[in-house]
A and B are shown apart, each in its own frame.
Chain A
């Protein structure tokens, strides 16, 4: 990857009156990375984006772009371009005028702007549509015009604020691939804001998981999925089954916990918490639905869970079994459909088996809302 311009947040605090929107954020974004802030709405991720683009002054701490402190530098002077959630295409300008607005500001001639617009329109696969008005385009086309308009400003950092949220599912999935391709082609840093973990996982080099103004974890997608730092990260990214309990015994990087209803179970302590969790601590163990297998009846031990099946469903690629779980939550088990036969277990007790490396232990904490 080419060495683009990096963005660093140092001890960043942003307050609105008494409300703390961002609490002591420290993030290093490498140049040329596709970096995502992932979190539920209201967690402060858009606030961070506005601080980077210059619409907000941090209450404390610094925003550095390419190593330069951005304090006091307005949005129009920063090497960033923002793609707004609602795209904010200028409704009264034609598509080509929208795209080359940044050139108009710099005083470029009409011919020059036309030429650049045509190049960018080719790049976003909308050749010849320059004379339309934004309202005459479809949602996906508008999306691409917004990207072209931002790229035309030749920013070092492109900021994207949930730009895909208004599109339908099919288009969203298509645009994910397209965005990633564009990013790799232009080689500049992308900072992407989303509440959709699928978008974050598929596109990003690195992801920051945010909860209520706090960054819980910064890592690549695989790490976040397999080795979450906190209960929130574990429950927010992907589906997960939670088992609450107290740590009975720590054995190196593994621990035995006394769960509330499934007996003593063994789990791997997540990397960030190794050495920190002690015996007697409240903890949560997370096991993904696809990490379970059905064990033979009567099997028991510290990696077997027995529970009553409440209902089952067939989803095509997987077969889901739901059993009674902890604290009103169900345990979900997804068995891949490999052509085997599934028998109906509804109302019966079944025993589930997992491998220790697939059970992650984190300190007890707040779970993501549904």
Chain B
């Protein structure tokens, strides 16, 4: 009785936990398909793919992606190399130095990213000056600084991943290779590296993702080369649009795709290994009957479902035109807004009369700005039943294209805008 109660509560807890974890991503992804200019799920207006189009026309985003890829590649190479060297050193360092060494190479994980960014910037700026180089030298290049700064701590992550596998490596294998005539470099390339390959692949993926999403360190070092994350942060801080949801959706979809792909591959490797174990000599020498890709492979099935869904969505997107729907919604909203403005005017009129009567001096801004775009005034006056957001949308729909909200938001103090939304 008590036991089953516990089990039920664990499941309820799991559901709530994963809702907290995945819910925001799902909601964000869904908002990418709502035609509302402010990313939201309710009220649902029209199914649209326009935000994807806007996303791909945004030069700053595209440029950010390019910089992120360059920096990511540099960081992967440098941090995997340093992480591997660090892990190799850890397994054979003088025992008395080991604890100190471990503390040093693990410390960057705990040092706040902001601090890493600053120290990188300050240190290389000093080196640059010591060498007498100008402000446009290689050492003060944003890509170089960002790769260096990110690698400082990403190499620690790589080291942890690599050392876990390295601990299972039998040094006798390298010795055997040397004994059979290989040079140290050959033994490393032919024996150790293939053994480490799965861990190196994991470390590289981890390093790339960490580099791609890094903000705290990069924000100090990027210089002339803003990464995608930096661009996103600028956009999000100064006003948000569903184009960002669209980007988020793409990243979520890619992530899920690769996670499933990886899982399916792992599962298949397991199945193949099991089949080989059972296979006879003749089967091995000739052709061994491998299990098909899908048998007993849940992830592979999901992968195919996922691929089909993607094709369907893309197909729909090319054929689908939400123009009529959007026009309807717009018209409806225009009517509603007009009605509200009239009510508002009426109300204001009454208020003004009242105030004039009381000779009050307040509320200049509210009285002189009946335009719906001035939503800071709106939000304060009305008991907002989702009205504040609607009004803002109306404004941005008619006045400025939503993708250009850097300029739109720039007019406001970013903090006050945040609080309004």
Number of B positions contacting A (CB below 8 A): 22
The reply to whether B179 and A81 contact each other, CB–CB distance below 8 Å, is yes
B330 at the interface (CB under 8 A from A): no
The reply to whether A74 and B178 contact each other, CB–CB distance below 8 Å, is yes
A26 at the interface (CB under 8 A from B): no
Residues of A within 8 A of B179 (CB): 53-54, 75-76, 80-82, 153
The reply to whether A105 and B276 contact each other, CB–CB distance below 8 Å, is no
The reply to whether B194 and A105 contact each other, CB–CB distance below 8 Å, is no
Contact with A131, one of B176, B178, B285 (Cβ below 8 angstroms): B285
Binds B, one of A88-96, A218-226, A269-277, A324-332: A88-96
A100 to B186, CA, bound (A): 15
Identify the closest chain B residue to A130 (Cβ): B285
Residues of B within 8 A of A75 (CB): 175, 178-179
The reply to whether A136 and B277 contact each other, CB–CB distance below 8 Å, is yes
The reply to whether B177 and A101 contact each other, CB–CB distance below 8 Å, is yes
A177 at the interface (CB under 8 A from B): no
B351 at the interface (CB under 8 A from A): no
In chain B, residues 215-254, which have Cβ atoms closer than 8 Å to a Cβ of chain A? none
B43 at the interface (CB under 8 A from A): no
Minimum CB–CB distance from A147 to chain B (whole Å) comes to 13
A185 at the interface (CB under 8 A from B): no
Residues of A within 8 A of B183 (CB): 76
Contact with A106, one of B178, B181, B191, B194 (Cβ below 8 angstroms): B181
The reply to whether B176 and A84 contact each other, CB–CB distance below 8 Å, is yes
Minimum CB–CB distance from B342 to chain A (whole Å) comes to 78
B314 at the interface (CB under 8 A from A): no
In chain B, residues 175-232, which have Cβ atoms closer than 8 Å to a Cβ of chain A? 175-183, 186, 190-191, 194-195
In chain A, residues 69-110, which have Cβ atoms closer than 8 Å to a Cβ of chain B? 74-76, 80-82, 84-86, 88, 90-92, 101-102, 104-106
A106 to B176, CA, bound (A): 15
B281 at the interface (CB under 8 A from A): yes
The reply to whether B186 and A105 contact each other, CB–CB distance below 8 Å, is yes
A212 at the interface (CB under 8 A from B): no
The reply to whether A88 and B170 contact each other, CB–CB distance below 8 Å, is yes
B411 at the interface (CB under 8 A from A): no
Minimum CB–CB distance from A51 to chain B (whole Å) comes to 13
A136 to B179, CA, bound (A): 24
B290 at the interface (CB under 8 A from A): no
Identify the closest chain A residue to B177 (Cβ): A101
Residues of B within 8 A of A85 (CB): 172
B173 at the interface (CB under 8 A from A): yes
Identify the closest chain A residue to B191 (Cβ): A90
A54 to B195, CA, bound (A): 24
Minimum CB–CB distance from B181 to chain A (whole Å) comes to 5
Minimum CB–CB distance from B200 to chain A (whole Å) comes to 14
Residues of A within 8 A of B304 (CB): none
Minimum CB–CB distance from A100 to chain B (whole Å) comes to 10
Residues of A within 8 A of B170 (CB): 86, 88
Minimum CB–CB distance from A357 to chain B (whole Å) comes to 45
A133 at the interface (CB under 8 A from B): yes
- Write the A30-72 contact mask toward B (1 if CB under 8 angstroms, else 0): 0000000000000000000000011100000000000000000
Minimum CB–CB distance from B180 to chain A (whole Å) comes to 4
Residues of A within 8 A of B285 (CB): 128, 131
Do A92 and B172 form a contact, CB below 8 Å, given A82-B179, A132-B284, A133-B276?
A: no
The reply to whether A84 and B277 contact each other, CB–CB distance below 8 Å, is no
Minimum CB–CB distance from A96 to chain B (whole Å) comes to 11
- Write the B265-297 contact mask toward A (1 if CB under 8 angstroms, else 0): 000000000001100010011000000000000
A258 to B209, CA, bound (A): 83
Residues of A within 8 A of B178 (CB): 55, 74-76
A153 to B252, CA, bound (A): 53
Identify the closest chain B residue to A149 (Cβ): B180
Contact with A86, one of B172, B177, B191 (Cβ below 8 angstroms): B172
The reply to whether A105 and B195 contact each other, CB–CB distance below 8 Å, is no
A193 to B143, CA, bound (A): 57
In chain A, residues 123-166, which have Cβ atoms closer than 8 Å to a Cβ of chain B? 128-129, 131-133, 136, 149-150, 153
The reply to whether A88 and B172 contact each other, CB–CB distance below 8 Å, is yes
Minimum CB–CB distance from B290 to chain A (whole Å) comes to 14
Minimum CB–CB distance from A151 to chain B (whole Å) comes to 11
Between A80, A90, A106, the greatest number of chain B beta carbons within 10 A of the residue's beta carbon is seen for A90
Minimum CB–CB distance from A86 to chain B (whole Å) comes to 6
Identify the closest chain A residue to B187 (Cβ): A76
The reply to whether A88 and B175 contact each other, CB–CB distance below 8 Å, is yes
Identify the closest chain B residue to A92 (Cβ): B194
A102 to B182, CA, bound (A): 7
Identify the closest chain B residue to A153 (Cβ): B180
A153 to B172, CA, bound (A): 17
The reply to whether B181 and A76 contact each other, CB–CB distance below 8 Å, is yes
Minimum CB–CB distance from A293 to chain B (whole Å) comes to 50
Minimum CB–CB distance from B335 to chain A (whole Å) comes to 71
Residues of A within 8 A of B172 (CB): 84-86, 88
Residues of B within 8 A of A80 (CB): 179
- Write the B138-180 contact mask toward A (1 if CB under 8 angstroms, else 0): 0000000000000000000000000000000010110111111
The reply to whether B195 and A84 contact each other, CB–CB distance below 8 Å, is no
Minimum CB–CB distance from A304 to chain B (whole Å) comes to 54
Between B194, B276, B284, B285, the greatest number of chain A beta carbons within 10 A of the residue's beta carbon is seen for B284
The reply to whether A129 and B195 contact each other, CB–CB distance below 8 Å, is no
The reply to whether A131 and B284 contact each other, CB–CB distance below 8 Å, is yes
Minimum CB–CB distance from B187 to chain A (whole Å) comes to 8
Do A91 and B195 form a contact, CB below 8 Å, given A76-B179, A82-B176, A84-B175?
A: yes
Closest 5 A/B residue pairs (Cβ): A88-B172, A88-B176, A102-B180, A75-B178, A82-B179
Extra contacts, 5 of them, besides A75-B175, A86-B170, A92-B194 (Cβ < 8 A), are A53-B179, A54-B179, A81-B180, A88-B175, A90-B173
Name 29 A/B residue pairs within 8 A (Cβ), A-sorted: A53-B179, A54-B179, A55-B175, A74-B178, A75-B175, A75-B178, A75-B179, A76-B179, A76-B180, A76-B181, A76-B182, A81-B179, A81-B180, A82-B176, A88-B172, A88-B175, A88-B176, A91-B173, A91-B195, A101-B182, A102-B180, A105-B177, A105-B180, A106-B181, A128-B285, A136-B276, A136-B277, A150-B180, A153-B181
